């Protein structure tokens, strides 16, 4: 049936890749870093700006708090990194936050984390793309002028790439990420050099602007609240830190050690860039307002609605490298690119998490099988759809989207850290070796602090951002949570219903004693003859051919040919005053069942196999409907005897291609063989 | 699979009716007339106006030609009626134009007629609805102000009604039709009385208007051409005349005689009303222009674009009964209603013709079975879609739509009449009885004249209207023709491919010697146990259970339980490094085939039967895909052993309802039992 949808897909998505070709190689640290860290690293492109934006509410004077906020973010970053280094050591199999929470805190917590992560992935796409567009826009004005359009275009592009099953190569990630990092560091270094050594004054394009504070001279609690809000905006820099902990299996041995090192390296890079950019922003007097149109003044007049407020990183770059200079352009491009890559990571994470959830029967089971194109496609399309919706609703404005962003992240941080504490407790209760114990206690302490701190931040984020949009994220989480619980309930109910009682097979089921086989015949041709031949092979107790009389003439002809060919199977013809096919057959089958309730009826249907969906419309329709109905009739089994028409070759090829498809995110999950070996143990 | 589409349908279309309840009663003439004649009778609502419109091009002076054109139309009408009276006698089974042309002139001609009729049905809807809206608009201005919107609304309404399978009752048609006829006759009589006896002057609202002729003082060929164009517009009055000849079986006995009488009666009514309206239009000085905005002047100034030109019938009614008078309103309403009923006839004709064409394999075979909801629905939706498109493109302007209309009608008229001539020739060649022969010769003469005349008109219509839109109709016909030929070709090619050679069954097919049965097992539960039990009943030569190892733990558990329960069927487990299900199974089956190519493999799949489409998404997905792939593997038969979950009850009920549905146009096809009896001759 998927044939129908297949044609357009083919056109868009093109020929797919062989899945065995995927990542036979494990990732060295230098590649693993960009592959897993593009998300957290790229977030320094917007996080610093968000801090300034919030502070600007209390007027530019509040900017001098920014270093302190930066410090807070740094401390948080180190905490989180330290905590996840423990995860990495504890779960070398690459147990993500979901598994950690699930195994240590039970399914409810696990499901909460899962919902949080799913929402998070959606927002990663929305935020990263929007911010990427804004950065690109600082170099190419057209892009910001058609922000939403461009953002959605990029999302569509990524979606197609991932549906296409593009083989995600380490280098693809490495180059832009390293260019970005290098660029930012050059900027910081060169900026520092100019400021301190050459001592020449660098001015951001908005340096001369004046900010009209929304609340003049905030103080006391109000100020504190504002600072907390600024801080939680800054926390955007931590998004995606957990990525590595999911990807441990993809690392070279010693996996855990390498992963931990990479994690640390990533944290170090991130905080340095974060602080560097904040510092330069101060030095170059960047002025950003939460709603520039009204609160930002150029020569005494408000800049007005069509003023485009460029991201802090590009303003700084402009100040340091000079407007439109080569390096400025390069950095802008690299920033945009790395942000798009960050979005792409969600395309890998989302379906992957989906398949894990499916394993636990929280999502349709078919999402479970890996490399199953349809499964992943569904996930990808869902993700893209949700992201595009958000981008469209929020006008691709990263600032507004970020309000939704950080909740999910910290929900999963907190729960996974609490889970880790439990984890260590459990192990400590059994572990006797003092050295190991000491180590565990240390880890537990770290995780405990992590849990406490991230939990605190979560509260802060909720309090400061709830009305600004965090509630949307929470709503999203609830929806995911509810849906998944419902699905799980359904599966459990069914499992209960079909559970087999103990004792020899099927004792409880009325074990049929005999089979009465019926071959459906419309005309006499190869398909029906084959069906008859096969039916005979299955030595059922009785066998008869069944035809429905919709056209007396045809029926007559059929009977005659039947005689002439001397087919040694009795032919029964049902009358059908309404020229129906389904009803008479169903009723006949039912009557058979009534005559001898302990018998099973096996209905054998000859079927054409065709190559194209439009051919499908021309064949088997009544057979299909009949099968559909028969399935509802108890004590019946339905056998299709396919007859492959020449045209079916085409479809066969298509099906093969669809199967030889490469699931996204293979690299970050490590080579498939490996994992298979690890777990294979059957004949 | 249709479950998915079923939910919205249900909401819109609601519960359907039982099909056995349909027309047990045959139609008496007084009911048959309105049922079959609503289309031709209603066309007098627009035909006269069209004549005047065209004449107006040569200025109001040309109006005095209108009586002559009326005469021509009357003659034509009598010819056509006379000819069809022959059809009715010759084909009491209700052979429509398609069958007449098909049997007597061969498939190509038949297909041409069919295409013409299909286009015609679409236009019947478009024109009748548009004109109905215009007539309604003469009483309720709002309606004309939102012409297109209202027209499409009405079409949607009719579509839903017909999808719903509303039982079309004779009385439903009778009342408005008779009200309409009565109204028009009263108008004519009262008008004549006022004019001739009371001798008071009646003035149409447009009486004082002045028409600026587009071509001053036309003469010679140009004038002739114009008159011909006016005539072919007038021919719109003949649309739908053939309806009765399709419906003979629905008449009371003597069917043919009654049908013929009804036909004559219908013709008589139509022409009288046609002439009456033209006459009154002259008497009341109705002024209509083809494009009033420019060519119609009120007190010397053009009426301008927002002037609404009311249909001639309502202008006359206004003049005769007085503006806004009760009778005026009633007539307007009745006119609109009868026009909508005329449109509704197309909803019955289109799918009916479709099912006949399907019988001849020009359309997907499943359209063939009568009372098959899906089949009819497709036809209805297609019809409605096309009609709405036309209405939208042509702004629901009946005048512009009529340009397309008449081509199809006369194509089928002409061909069916030629067919009749052939028919008589064939019979004359065998018939010996002189009395009968004389009768046949007479009939042949009538049909011959009919063929000649309608053919002539067809040429005239084509010549005079081609550039005005007739080409669109022709294009539509070509598209239908091409599609249907292609479908027929496909079926023939397949039929050839699967044709069974002579000799004992399946000699040519490699007759499999043994069957190797494989039962797919995921877990041990009732469905799988049942599948195993059934599989054992079919004493195939070898039987084994097959499971795919996607999760080693689960597999291990399965093996253990298998042992514990002591199931006496060998369990084979396939490895699946990629956690796939389809591929390993397919490959295993292939390997079996390779080992012993002369054996058949029977794959037995336990299946859940669920009640709701969303449950469907949660089950059987991999089974479905596997089945899809298996069908492409030669030498395989696929057996589903259904296990009905409790929820499946819901679906069972739905399916039953869907089946107990009442096909549109049942009345006009006569009671089903009857026809069945007529043709039933099997056990």
For B289-332, write each residue's pLDDT tens digit: 888 888 888 888 888 888 888 899 999 999 999 888 899 999 99
Interior/surface letters B413-430, b for 16+ CB within 10 angstroms, e for the rest: bbbbbbbbbbbbeeeeee
Sort strands B296-298 and A296-298 into parallel, antiparallel or unpaired. unpaired
Element (H, E) at B606: strand B600-609
Portion of chain A with pLDDT greater than 90, in percent: 31
Name the B residues in 33-62 with CB < 8 Å from any A CB: none
Residue B360: other Cβ atoms inside 10 A: 18
pLDDT at residue A235 is higher than 60: yes
Residue A293 lies in a domain: yes
| Closest CB to A530 among B506, B631, B638 | B506
Sign, CA torsion A85/A89/A94/A99: negative
pLDDT of residue B475: 94
Q: How far A52 CA lies from chain B's nearest CA (Å)?
A: 48
Chain A contact for B484, CB < 8 A?
no
Task: Provide the 3-class DSSP secondary structure of residue A271.
Answer: helix
| Closest CB to A643 among B498, B567, B619 | B498
Written in H, E and C, the secondary structure of B458-476 is: HHHHHHHHHHHHHHHHHHH
The separation between CA B508 and the C-alpha centre of its own chain, rounded to angstroms, equals 43
Nearest to B266 by CA among B538, B91, B43: B43
Portion of chain B with pLDDT greater than 70, in percent: 87
B628/A2 CB distance under 8 A: yes
Q: Which two tokens stand for residue B665?
A: 């146009």
Check: CB of residue B521 under 8 Å from CB of residue B544. Answer: no
pLDDT-derived band at B97, boundaries 50, 70, 90: confident
Q: Rounded CA gap, B82 and A421, in Å?
A: 97
Q: What is the dihedral of CA B491, B493, B495, B500, to 10 degrees?
A: -170
- Please, what's the largest Cα pairwise distance for chain A? 108
Q: Which two tokens stand for residue B1?
A: 């699979």
Q: Which two tokens stand for residue B17?
A: 């009716």
pLDDT at residue A508 is higher than 60: no
| Closest CB to B609 among A370, A578, A632 | A632
CATH number at residue A275: 1.20.1740.10
ipTM field: 0.72
> What is the rounded average pLDDT of the residues A524-535?
88
pLDDT of residue A464: 86
Residue A658 lies in a domain: no
pLDDT of residue A241: 83
pLDDT at residue A133 is higher than 90: yes
> What is the rounded average pLDDT of the residues B576-590?
82
Written in H, E and C, the secondary structure of A159-201 is: HHHHHCCCCCCHHHHHHHHHHHHHHHHHHHHHHHHHHHHHCCC
Interior/surface letters A108-140, b for 16+ CB within 10 angstroms, e for the rest: ebbbbbbbbbbbbbbbbbbbbbbbbbbbbbbbe
pLDDT tens for residues B218-275?
777 888 888 998 998 888 888 888 888 877 877 888 888 888 999 999 999 999 999 9
pLDDT tens for residues B46-72?
999 999 988 888 888 888 889 999 999
> What is the rounded average pLDDT of the residues A564-584?
84
> What is the rounded average pLDDT of the residues B582-596?
88
pTM: 0.69
Q: Rounded CA gap, B384 and B152, in Å?
A: 9
> What is the rounded average pLDDT of the residues B562-569?
88
Check: CB of residue A62 under 8 Å from CB of residue A289. Answer: no
Instruction: Examine the domain organization and report whether A176 and A38 are in the same domain.
Output: yes
pLDDT at residue B2 is higher than 90: no
- Please, what's the largest Cα pairwise distance for chain B? 108
The separation between CA B653 and the C-alpha centre of its own chain, rounded to angstroms, equals 29
DSSP structure string for A524-549: -BHHHHHHHHHHHHSB-SEEEEEEEE
> What is the rounded average pLDDT of the residues A254-267?
89
Residue A204 lies in a domain: yes
Chain B contact for A524, CB < 8 A?
yes
Name the B residues in 147-176 with CB < 8 Å from any A CB: none
pLDDT of residue B8: 46
Check: CB of residue B165 under 8 Å from CB of residue B16. Answer: yes
Q: Rounded CA gap, B56 and B69, in Å?
A: 14
pLDDT at residue A682 is higher than 50: no
| Closest CB to B19 among A490, A578, A648 | A578
Question: Of the residues B399, B420, B439, which one is the last residue of a structural domain?
Answer: B399
| Closest CB to A504 among B565, B628, B643 | B565
Instruction: Examine the domain organization and report whether A259 and A388 are in the same domain.
Output: yes
Check: CB of residue B111 under 8 Å from CB of residue B484. Answer: yes
pLDDT-derived band at A3, boundaries 50, 70, 90: very low
Element (H, E) at B260: helix B255-283
CATH number at residue A533: 3.40.50
The separation between CA B345 and the C-alpha centre of its own chain, rounded to angstroms, equals 9
pLDDT at residue B505 is higher than 50: no
pLDDT of residue B375: 58
Q: Which domain holds residue A575?
A: 517-645
pLDDT at residue A679 is higher than 50: no
Q: Which two tokens stand for residue A603?
A: 């209905």
What is the count of structural domains for chain A? 2
Residue A380: other Cβ atoms inside 10 A: 24
The separation between CA A22 and the C-alpha centre of its own chain, rounded to angstroms, equals 19
Angle between helices B147-163 and B3-13 (to 10 degrees): 110
> What is the rounded average pLDDT of the residues A35-40?
85
Q: Which two tokens stand for residue B611?
A: 């009640």
pLDDT tens for residues A319-336?
999 888 899 999 999 999
pLDDT at residue A612 is higher than 60: yes
B552/A682 CB distance under 8 A: yes
pLDDT of residue A509: 53
Q: Rounded CA gap, B130 and A434, in Å?
A: 92
Burial class from Cβ neighbours inside 10 Å (0-12, 13-18, 19+) for residue A142 reads exposed
Residue count of chain B: 683
pLDDT of residue A23: 42
Number of H helices, E strands in chain B: 27, 8
> What is the rounded average pLDDT of the residues A581-593?
88
Q: Which two tokens stand for residue A663?
A: 């699931």
> What is the rounded average pLDDT of the residues A433-461?
91
Q: How far A105 CA lies from chain B's nearest CA (Å)?
A: 22
pLDDT of residue B4: 40
Question: Of the residues B334, B364, B399, which one is the last residue of a structural domain?
Answer: B399
Check: CB of residue B596 under 8 Å from CB of residue B607. Answer: no
Instruction: Examine the domain organization and report whether B384 and B521 are in the same domain.
Output: no
Instruction: Examine the domain organization and report whether A35 and A164 are in the same domain.
Output: yes
Instruction: Examine the domain organization and report whether A147 and A273 are in the same domain.
Output: yes
List CB contacts (< 8 A) between B566 and chain A: 504
pLDDT of residue B676: 39
Dihedrals φ, ψ of B413, to 5°? Answer: -50, -60
pLDDT-derived band at A81, boundaries 50, 70, 90: very high
DSSP structure string for B594-663: HH-TTSEEEEEEEEEE-SSHHHHHHSSHHHHHHHHHHTTSTTEEEEEEEEE-TTHHHHHHHHHHHHS---
Q: How far is CA A412 from CA A72, A418, B431, in A?
A: 20, 10, 93
Q: Which two tokens stand for residue A3?
A: 């044939």
A574 secondary structure, DSSP code: E
Chain B contact for A489, CB < 8 A?
no
Task: Provide the 3-class DSSP secondary structure of residue A205.
Answer: coil
Task: Provide the 3-class DSSP secondary structure of residue A28.
Answer: coil
- Among B639, B651, B653, B679, the strongest candidate for a mutation testing the A interface, having the largest count of A CBs within 10 A, is B639
> What is the rounded average pLDDT of the residues B649-677?
57
Nearest to A588 by CA among A642, A520, A535, A513: A520
pLDDT at residue A476 is higher than 90: yes
- Order across the sheet with A515-520: list the strands: A571-575, A542-549, A515-520, A600-609, A636-644, B636-644, B600-609, B515-520, B542-549, B571-575
Question: Of the residues B399, B425, B457, which one is the last residue of a structural domain?
Answer: B399
Residue A683 lies in a domain: no
Name the B residues in 604-643 with CB < 8 Å from any A CB: 604, 607-609, 615, 617-619, 621-622, 624-625, 627-632, 634, 636-643
Residue A223 lies in a domain: yes
What's the mean pLDDT when you consider all of chain A?
83
Sign, CA torsion B139/B143/B145/B147: negative
Nearest to A49 by CA among A464, A318, A402: A402
Spell out the residues 6+ positions from residue A442 whose beta carbon is closer than 8 angstroms to its own. none
At which residue do the structure tokens 């009905």 appear? B644
DSSP structure string for A467-486: GGTHHHHHHHHHHHHHHHHH
Residue A304 lies in a domain: yes
- Among A532, A538, A561, A609, the strongest candidate for a mutation testing the B interface, having the largest count of B CBs within 10 A, is A538
Q: Rounded CA gap, B520 and A56, in Å?
A: 66
pLDDT-derived band at B9, boundaries 50, 70, 90: very low
> What is the rounded average pLDDT of the residues B381-406?
90
> What is the rounded average pLDDT of the residues B425-445?
90
> What is the rounded average pLDDT of the residues A471-477?
92
> What is the rounded average pLDDT of the residues A505-529?
77
pLDDT at residue A57 is higher than 80: yes
pLDDT-derived band at A662, boundaries 50, 70, 90: low
Portion of chain A with pLDDT greater than 70, in percent: 87
Sort strands A571-575 and B542-549 into parallel, antiparallel or unpaired. unpaired
pLDDT of residue B658: 61
Element (H, E) at B69: helix B66-90
pLDDT at residue B350 is higher than 70: yes
**Poorest-pLDDT segment among A3-17, A637-651, B445-459:** A3-17
Residue A459: other Cβ atoms inside 10 A: 14
Q: Rounded CA gap, B458 and B463, in Å?
A: 9
Burial class from Cβ neighbours inside 10 Å (0-12, 13-18, 19+) for residue B564 reads exposed
Residue B203 lies in a domain: yes
Q: How far is CA A634 from CA A174, A542, A601, A637, B577, in A?
A: 59, 19, 9, 9, 37
pLDDT tens for residues B105-138?
999 999 999 999 999 999 999 999 999 999 998 8
Residue A447 lies in a domain: no
pLDDT tens for residues A356-374?
888 888 988 766 655 556 5
């Amino acid at each position: 049936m998927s044939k129908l949808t297949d044609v357009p897909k083919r056109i868009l998505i093109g020929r797919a890749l062989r899945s065995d070709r995927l990542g036979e190689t494990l990732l060295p640290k230098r590649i693993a870093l960009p592959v897993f860290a593009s998300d957290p690293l790229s977030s320094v492109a917007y996080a610093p700006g968000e801090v300034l934006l919030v502070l600007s509410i209390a007027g530019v004077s509040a900017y001098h708090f920014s270093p302190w906020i930066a410090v807070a973010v740094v401390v948080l970053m180190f905490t989180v990194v330290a905590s996840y280094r423990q995860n990495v050591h504890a779960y070398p199999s690459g147990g993500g936050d979901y598994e950690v929470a699930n195994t240590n805190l039970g399914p409810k917590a696990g499901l909460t984390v899962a919902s949080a992560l799913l929402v998070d992935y959606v927002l990663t796409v929305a935020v990263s793309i929007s911010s990427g567009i804004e950065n690109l826009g600082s170099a190419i004005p057209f892009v910001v002028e058609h922000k939403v359009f461009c953002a959605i275009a990029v999302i569509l592009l990524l979606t197609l790439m991932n549906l296409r099953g593009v083989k995600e190569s380490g280098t693809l990630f490495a180059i832009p990420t390293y260019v970005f990092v290098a660029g930012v560091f050059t900027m910081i270094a060169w900026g520092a050099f100019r400021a301190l050594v050459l001592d020449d004054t660098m001015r951001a394009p908005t340096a001369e602007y004046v900010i009209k504070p929304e609340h003049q001279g905030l103080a006391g609690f109000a100020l504190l609240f504002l600072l907390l809000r600024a801080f939680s905006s800054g926390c955007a820099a931590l998004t995606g830190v957990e990525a590595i902990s999911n990807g441990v299996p993809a690392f070279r041995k010693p996996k855990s050690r390498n992963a931990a090192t990479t994690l640390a390296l990533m944290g170090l890079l991130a905080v340095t860039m974060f602080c560097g950019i904040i510092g330069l922003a101060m030095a170059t007097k960047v002025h950003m307002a939460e709603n520039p149109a009204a609160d930002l003044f150029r020569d005494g007049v408000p800049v007005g609605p069509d003023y485009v407020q460029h991201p802090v990183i590009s303003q700084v770059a402009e100040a340091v490298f000079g407007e439109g200079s080569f390096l400025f352009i390069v950095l802008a491009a690299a920033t945009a690119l790395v942000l798009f890559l960050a979005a792409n990571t969600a395309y890998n994470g989302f379906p992957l998490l989906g398949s894990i959830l499916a394993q636990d029967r929280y999502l349709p089971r078919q999402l479970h099988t890996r490399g199953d194109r349809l499964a992943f496609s569904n996930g990808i399309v869902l993700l893209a759809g949700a992201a595009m919706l958000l981008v469209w609703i929020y006008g691709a404005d990263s600032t507004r989207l970020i309000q939704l962003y950080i909740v999910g992240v910290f929900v999963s941080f907190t729960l996974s850290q609490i889970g880790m504490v439990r984890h260590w407790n459990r192990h400590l209760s059994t572990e006797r070796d003092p050295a190991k114990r000491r180590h565990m206690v240390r880890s537990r302490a770290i995780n405990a602090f992590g849990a406490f701190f991230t939990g605190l931040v979560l509260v802060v984020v909720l309090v400061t951002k709830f009305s600004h949009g965090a509630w949307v994220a929470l709503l999203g989480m609830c929806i995911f949570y509810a849906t998944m619980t419902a699905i799980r309930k359904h599966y459990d109910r069914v499992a209960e219903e079909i559970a087999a009682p103990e004792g020899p097979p099927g004792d409880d089921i009325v074990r049929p004693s005999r089979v009465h086989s019926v071959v459906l015949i419309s005309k006499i041709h190869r398909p029906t003859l084959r069906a008859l031949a096969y039916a005979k092979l299955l030595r059922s107790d009785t066998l008869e051919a069944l035809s429905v009389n919709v056209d007396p003439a045809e029926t007559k002809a059929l009977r005659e040919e039947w005689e002439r060919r001397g087919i040694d199977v009795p032919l029964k013809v049902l009358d059908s005053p309404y020229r129906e096919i389904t009803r008479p057959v169903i009723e006949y089958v039912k009557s058979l069942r009534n005559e001898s309730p302990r018998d099973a009826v096996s209905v054998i249907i000859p079927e054409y196999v065709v190559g194209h969906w439009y051919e499908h419309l021309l064949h088997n329709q009544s057979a299909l409907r009949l099968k559909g109905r028969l399935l509802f009739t108890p004590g019946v089994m339905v056998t299709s005897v396919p007859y492959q028409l020449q045209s079916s070759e085409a479809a066969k090829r298509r099906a093969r291609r669809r199967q030889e498809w490469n699931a996204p995110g293979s690299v970050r999950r490590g080579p498939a063989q490996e994992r298979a070996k690890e777990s294979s143990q059957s004949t």
